[in-house]
């Protein structure tokens, strides 16, 4: 029985060892094999002004997209969580419908919408809100709009799950104690959905760090790290630098998820300690 359970790992081992673990090892070694000496690539990443700007841009966009996604996604999840039966199904279906369209197509859609003569500018000009068309695609605004559009489903799902798991008697209890709906939300619903907000934000932030398609099409002059890596590898054939950048992105991803996991463990321990007081 025992040695047989290992056989079940065989397919995944055959898939992940050469095509997931080995690539990680390859970029690890590649990043140290530059002509300028061991570690020179990492020094360059830290010191090169251009690269630092790219990293800053990537973080800035990812952070903005995370905030925007949360601001739009939370109310959606909140309303969906209170819907019942068919309406809830329809709501979830609607939120996932664009999710199924390919990222290239969704980015293309925003290229049309946000173009200089696109419908958004025509409407804004038409109602007299602006006098000159907004250059969405040059200033990074279009990129953030399109990325938020793509990321919202990723934050709605975990928050929706969290909100649905809240015992409906808790807000009721708060109401009985005299809290109005807004205070019920602040005292019960929001704190209880915090762990899921953290999960959703982490997923959105990390995914946004790795975006390639949308920034390439809608970023204008703005370069993000995925584009830089691709450019270094494909066009400039500087694999050591590309690998060093990839390793940094990889480590960042691991660190962010480790932080999330640590905070989850800490809050669980806190809950345990708390329940211990009453036990």
Partner 1 sequence: MSVSEKKLWTAWSRFLTGLVGAILIGFLVPILVVVAVSFQSKSYLSFPPTDFSLRWYQQFIGNDDYRSAILNSMMIGASAAALATIAGISTALAVVRARAPGSAIVSTLSIAPAVLPQIVLAIGLFPISVWLGLQGTLWAVILAHAVIGLPFPFITVCGALTSYSNRIEIASMTLGANAFQTFRLITFPMIRPAVIAGFIFAFAASLDELVLALFLSSPSTRTLPLLLWEQLNFQVTPEIAAAASVILAVTSLLILAATLLPRLDKDN
Binding positions for partner 1, 48-77, rule CB under 8 A = 72, 75-76
CB closer to partner 1, 116 vs 274: 116
Nearest distance from residue 71's CB to partner 1, in Å? 11
7: three-class secondary structure by DSSP: helix
Per CB under 8 A, 88 contacts partner 1: no
Integer angstrom CA distances of residue 217 from 54, 112, 182: 16, 11, 41
For residue 65, the tally of other CB atoms under 10 A from its CB is 28
Residues in 155-174 at the binding interface with partner 1, rule: CB under 8 A: none
Contact window for partner 1 (CB under 8 A) among 48-56, 133-141, 160-168, 209-217: 209-217
Per CB under 8 A, 127 contacts partner 1: no
Contact window for partner 1 (CB under 8 A) among 23-31, 33-41, 46-54, 264-272: 23-31
Per CB under 8 A, 141 contacts partner 1: no
Per CB under 8 A, 111 contacts partner 1: yes
Contact window for partner 1 (CB under 8 A) among 36-44, 99-107, 127-135, 262-270: 99-107
Nearest distance from residue 174's CB to partner 1, in Å? 13
Per CB under 8 A, 187 contacts partner 1: no
What b/e sequence results for 225-258 when a residue is b if at least 16 CB atoms lie within 10 Å of its CB, and e otherwise?
bbbbbeebbeeeebbbbbbbbbbbbeebbeebee
Question: Which alpha helices (H) appear in the chain, and where do they start and end?
Answer: 2-7, 10-16, 22-30, 40-47, 49-82, 85-100, 103-114, 119-126, 136-139, 141-165, 169-176, 181-184, 190-209, 213-218, 225-234, 239-278
Q: Which of 66, 147, 159, 239 binds partner 1 (CB under 8 A)?
A: 239
Find, among 253, 203, 202, the residue nearest to 226 by Cα. Answer: 253
Nearest distance from residue 160's CB to partner 1, in Å? 12
Nearest distance from residue 276's CB to partner 1, in Å? 26
Q: Which residue has the tokens 């969290």?
A: 162
Nearest distance from residue 241's CB to partner 1, in Å? 11
Distance CA 131, CA 125 (A): 6
CB closer to partner 1, 163 vs 249: 249
Distance CA 215, CA 226 (A): 9
């Amino acid at each position: 029985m025992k040695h047989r359970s290992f056989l079940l790992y065989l397919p995944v081992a055959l898939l992940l060892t050469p095509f997931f673990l080995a690539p990680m090892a390859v970029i690890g070694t590649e990043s140290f094999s530059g002509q300028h000496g061991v570690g020179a690539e990492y020094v360059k990443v830290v010191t090169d002004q251009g690269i630092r700007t790219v990293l800053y841009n990537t973080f800035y966009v990812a952070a903005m997209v995370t905030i925007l996604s949360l601001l739009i996604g939370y109310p959606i999840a909140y309303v969906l969580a209170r819907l019942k039966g068919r309406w809830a199904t329809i709501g979830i279906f609607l939120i996932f419908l664009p999710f199924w369209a390919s990222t290239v197509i969704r980015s293309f859609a925003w290229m049309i919408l946000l173009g200089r003569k696109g419908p958004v500018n025509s409407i804004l000009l038409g109602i007299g809100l602006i006098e000159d068309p907004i250059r969405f695609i040059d200033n990074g605004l279009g990129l953030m709009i399109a990325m938020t559009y793509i990321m919202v489903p990723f934050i709605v799902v975990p928050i929706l799950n969290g909100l649905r798991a809240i015992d409906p008697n808790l807000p009721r209890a708060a109401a009985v104690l005299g809290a109005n709906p807004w205070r019920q939300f602040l005292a019960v619903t929001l704190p209880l959905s915090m762990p899921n907000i953290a999960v959703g934000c982490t997923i959105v932030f990390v995914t946004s760090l790795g975006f390639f398609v949308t920034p390439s099409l809608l970023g204008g002059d703005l370069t993000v790290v995925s584009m830089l890596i691709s450019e270094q590898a494909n066009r400039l054939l500087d694999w050591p630098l590309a690998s060093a950048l990839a390793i940094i992105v990889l480590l960042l991803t691991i660190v962010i998820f480790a932080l999330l996991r640590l905070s989850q463990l800490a809050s669980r321990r806190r809950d345990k300690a708390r329940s211990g007081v009453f036990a």
